[in-house]
Amino acid sequence: MQNNSRQQILAILKKYWGYTSFLPLQEDTISSILAGKDTLTMLATGGGKSLCFQLPALMKEGMAVVISPLISLMKDQVDALKDMGVAAEVLNSSLAPEEQGRVVNLVSTGKMKLLYISPERLQQDRTRQLLQSVPLSFFVIDEAHCISHWGHDFREDYRNLRIIKEWFKPISVHAFTATATEEVQKDILKELRLENPQTHIGPVDRPNLTYRVWLRSQIISQVTDLLKKHAGEAGIIYCLRRDDVDTLSARLNALGFENLPYHAGMDDDTRRLHQDRFAREEVDVMVATIAFGMGIDRSNIRFVIHTAMPKSIEHYHQETGRAGRDGLPAHCYLFYGGSDFLTWKSLLEDSPHKEVLLEKLQSLYHFCSQPHCRHRVLANYFGQKYGKASCDACDYCLNELEMVEDPLIVSQKILSCVYRVHQVSGIGFGAGHIANVLKGKQSDQVETWGHHGISTFGLMAEESVAFIRYMIEQLIGQGFLRREGEFSTLFLTDSARKVLKGEQTPVLVKPLVAAKKEEITQKGRKKKEEEWAEIDQELFQVLRSKRAELARTQGVPAFIIFGDKSLRDMARIKPTTREAFATVYGVGDYKMHAYADAFIKIIQNFLRLGMG
Ligand code: ADP
């Protein structure tokens, strides 16, 4: 980038966004776009993708067209742009006809800088004519992974986006995504017919997220323990089915943990209301299916809890990606159980892409049940190396998992029991029965099949049935056992034979015991204290209420006014003059103009009352 244009770019960055430097790869992407080259940019959630195209859109002649898959996503971005004084609009089917007419007129005047539209809309003839009648700067394809069959969110209407190159040549096209494996990246380039594209692939890793994966047992108390830990913070609790959402949401509300439910089975108005209340910070916790989230830009989500396995690592990465978009520490908890695998398997049964999807599901199951550095596994899955020896931000690297001391012997005992019962009875058995046999527990089934007489009966008598079940679960997830059929019968896989011969050793963890849980809680508390060391927490809460009030009166999501990072900075600096306020993180000309006085007043009052 030329020096003078770099200065110009930095000036725009400060004026509109209030930032003084770029996040990794933003500047590279911006220069490629300004140079008119086609691009593919992959930046993890929170990596600042929107700024990469919004800033050049302000600098270039003409209007940029942004194709986005979700109406709520478009609306949030356009609201945020308008709040910065940028001429941007949305054009999609959610608008009333007269609104659509107004936007079309605005576009025709040639004064718009950014137009957000849906892929369906782009493909209509009248849209084509409209866009061909005005100067365009470039096209952006947001969530570009939706174009690939190999991706996890394939959308038919994204498939046709190749028409952009046919209809609007030579205008450049810029694809953006947060989660794409190498295969998907190649597919995006091919499908969009990008010409000599410049690719900017950032690390998928999100260092500010801490991942923990636990086996599900008493899910209500598991969740309420976490809600107590995260009291006053924003979070999403994901459930697999709509019914689970309704049940869990009602139970938690009854227990005093305020939350709102969200799923695709609810009527549109209620759903929108719940989403808006969350975005405006009137409520902090959502219990939802994955239908909730893609359009959620609330940047201060501090925790995401999965009460069941998601269906792929891509989904997990995307769903947890909603936490900590502001770059501040956030926590991801995943509770899994073998039944989730079976539920997903049956749901995927009719998909035309069943094979691919089942493979993805198996990788996720493996991720859950094979203890390893979670950051590393995620990075490797997306074809990237992970540089650090320890991430210091997952249950494995934080030493929160207690390893089984003799995993080979434990595995061999279990696998031989599965083998033996099958051999003597001619049929396979489920995990419950295998655990009873290993424990040496008499049951009707043990009696009926005479399994108290076999050599593996009571082989793990010193362990609890729950412990044995947990070990079995991990062996299934790691691919040493297969669970099949109506009765979830267990069978050995080819890799099981390697374990039986002692050629391969599974990695097994013990169930979390109360003492370990307490240790984790204490450590978490200490870390949080460090994070808030110089920030006045009381003032932060006061500022947060002001932000919620402004969001309510303006009818916009709270993060559009200020992110938590800005509020924390205010609660640290406590600016009482406009000069001091201008130094707060994220304060540009427009924010200064719109909000400085209101927030300075709040801070002055707070200090006057001797609270500071
Ligand atoms: P993505 O779409 O990649 O998830 P966003 O565009 O929502 O990311 O940006 C994430 C957060 O980072 C937003 O709060 C945004 O304002 C902030 N951000 C973007 N660029 C910068 C920058 N150069 N400096 C500081 N913060 C930034």
The percentage of residues in the chain with a pLDDT greater than 90, rounded to a whole number, is: 73
Average pLDDT over residues 32-50: 93
Strands 173-177 and 39-42: parallel
| 0.95 exceeded by pTM | no
Residue 17 CA, closest ligand 1 atom number: 16
Q: Whose CA is nearest to atom 12 of ligand 1?
A: 48
List C-alpha distances in Å: 524 to 210, 216, 304, 393.
Answer: 11, 21, 16, 11
CA–centroid distance, 435 to ligand 1, in Å, is: 50
Average pLDDT over residues 564-577: 95
Structure confidence at residue 155 (pLDDT): 77
Average pLDDT over residues 475-502: 92
Fold of 209-381: Rossmann fold (3.40.50)
Give strand pairing partners of 199: 40
Give the full edge-to-edge strand order of the sheet including 88-91.
88-91, 114-117, 63-67, 136-141, 173-177, 39-42, 198-201
Residues with CB under 6 A from ligand 1: 19, 22-23, 26, 43, 45-51, 299, 325-326, 563
Q: Is the pLDDT of residue 3 over 80?
A: no
Q: Is the pLDDT of residue 80 over 70?
A: yes
Q: Is the pLDDT of residue 434 over 50?
A: yes
Q: Is the pLDDT of residue 41 over 90?
A: yes
Q: Is the pLDDT of residue 365 over 80?
A: yes
Residue 45 CA, closest ligand 1 atom number: 4
The whole-chain average pLDDT of the chain stands at 91
Q: Is the pLDDT of residue 93 over 90?
A: no
Which CATH number does the domain 537-608 belong to among 1.10.150.80, 3.20.20.60, 3.30.56.10, 3.40.1410.10?
A: 1.10.150.80
Fold of 407-500: Arc Repressor Mutant, subunit A (1.10.10)
Structure confidence at residue 370 (pLDDT): 87
Average pLDDT over residues 365-375: 93
Structure confidence at residue 612 (pLDDT): 54
Structure confidence at residue 305 (pLDDT): 98
Structure confidence at residue 57 (pLDDT): 97
243 or 484, which is more confident?
A: 243
CA–centroid distance, 325 to ligand 1, in Å, is: 8
224-238, 239-253, 348-362: least confidently modelled range = 348-362
pLDDT in tens, 253-290: 999 999 999 998 998 899 889 988 998 889 999 999 98
Q: Whose CA is nearest to atom 26 of ligand 1?
A: 19
Which residues are CB-neighbours of 510 under 8 A, at least 6 positions away? 401, 402, 403, 404, 467, 470
CA–centroid distance, 42 to ligand 1, in Å, is: 14
Structure tokens that stand for 143 in this block: 């969530």
All structural domains of the chain with their residue ranges: 3-201, 209-381, 407-500, 537-608
Helices vs. strands in the chain: H and E counts, helices first: 28, 15
| pLDDT band at residue 45 using 50, 70 and 90 as cut-offs | confident
Q: Is the pLDDT of residue 356 over 90?
A: no
Q: Is the pLDDT of residue 225 over 90?
A: yes
CA–centroid distance, 25 to ligand 1, in Å, is: 12
pLDDT in tens, 456-476: 999 999 999 999 999 999 999
CA–centroid distance, 51 to ligand 1, in Å, is: 7
From the list 552, 535, 550, the residue with the least C-alpha distance to 602 is 550
Average pLDDT over residues 309-336: 93
The percentage of residues in the chain with a pLDDT greater than 70, rounded to a whole number, is: 97
Pick from 6, 15, 17 the residue to mutate for probing ligand 1's pocket: most ligand atoms within 8 Å of its CB.
Answer: 17
Q: Whose CA is nearest to atom 5 of ligand 1?
A: 48
Continuous H helices in 84-122: 97-109, 119-122
Q: Is the pLDDT of residue 1 over 60?
A: no
Residue 50 CA, closest ligand 1 atom number: 6
135 or 3, which is more confident?
A: 135
Average pLDDT over residues 484-497: 90
Structure confidence at residue 2 (pLDDT): 46
- Indicate if 537-608 has the same CATH topology as 407-500: no
Structure confidence at residue 611 (pLDDT): 61
Average pLDDT over residues 363-381: 94
CATH architecture observed for domain 3-201 = 3-Layer(aba) Sandwich (3.40)
Residue 559 CA, closest ligand 1 atom number: 14
Structure confidence at residue 149 (pLDDT): 73
